[in-house]
């Protein structure tokens, strides 16, 4: 799960993160995320753990040294770099769900879409478009297809969900 570490965002996003975490935990789907101890990252992890799930966090050492890591996860993997973190998260995952987030989340999402386009990542990618957060990005991606920057078949790389249960279900129908 890619998502924000910000704490100053609307409660609708926290509600969605908690719902997603609870669903993953209840269905015994191991959550893999960036191991942050704040924002949506913490909310989704805490909800998954409360629901009896497992959470593997992957985080660069410098972030651990800053105390930015969640200390209650099932497993914490430290990497040397952000690039290694993203590669490890992709390698460990059976699918990606992107909740709303800032530049880091957007960068992770666009990179995994690119990897799938290149055949480097073969698993489902679901954009959880809470509160229309990703509408502009989805419009931009469609424009890239419409103006032939991407092939039409590339728009099937990702699926879009408007609620957490739909996102989890799309992991298995993609």
pLDDT band of residue 28 (cuts 50, 70, 90) is very high
Q: What is the pLDDT of residues 41-89, one digit of tens each?
A: 999 999 999 999 999 999 999 999 999 999 999 999 999 999 999 999 9
Q: Enumerate the β-bridge partners of residue 2.
A: 98
pLDDT band of residue 173 (cuts 50, 70, 90) is confident
Cβ within 8 Å of residue 60, ≥6 positions away: 78, 79, 80, 81, 82, 84, 85
Strands (E), the chain: 31-33, 55-60, 75-79, 96-98, 125-128, 158-161
Could you identify the residue written with the tokens 């099932």? 74
> What span, in angstroms and rounded, lies between the C-alpha atoms of 114 and 157?
9
**pLDDT over 90 at 174, yes or no:** no
Confirm if 16 and 97 have CB atoms less than 8 A apart.
no
pLDDT band of residue 37 (cuts 50, 70, 90) is very high
């Amino acid at each position: 799960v890619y998502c924000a570490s910000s704490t100053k965002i609307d409660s609708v996003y926290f509600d969605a993160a908690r719902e997603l975490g609870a669903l993953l935990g209840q269905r015994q789907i191991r959550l893999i995320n960036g191991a942050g101890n704040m924002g949506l990252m913490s909310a989704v992890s805490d909800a998954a753990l409360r629901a009896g799930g497992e959470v593997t966090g992957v985080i660069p050492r410098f972030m651990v040294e800053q105390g930015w890591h969640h200390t209650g996860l099932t497993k914490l993997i430290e990497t040397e770099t952000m690039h290694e973190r993203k590669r490890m998260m992709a390698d460990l995952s059976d699918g990606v769900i992107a909740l709303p987030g800032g530049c880091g989340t957007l960068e992770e999402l666009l990179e995994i879409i690119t990897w799938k386009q290149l055949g480097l990542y073969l698993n489902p990618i679901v954009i959880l478009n809470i509160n229309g957060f990703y509408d502009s990005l989805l419009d931009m991606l469609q424009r890239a297809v419409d103006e032939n920057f991407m092939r039409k078949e590339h728009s099937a790389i990702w699926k879009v969900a408007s609620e957490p249960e739909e996102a989890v279900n799309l992991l298995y129908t993609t």
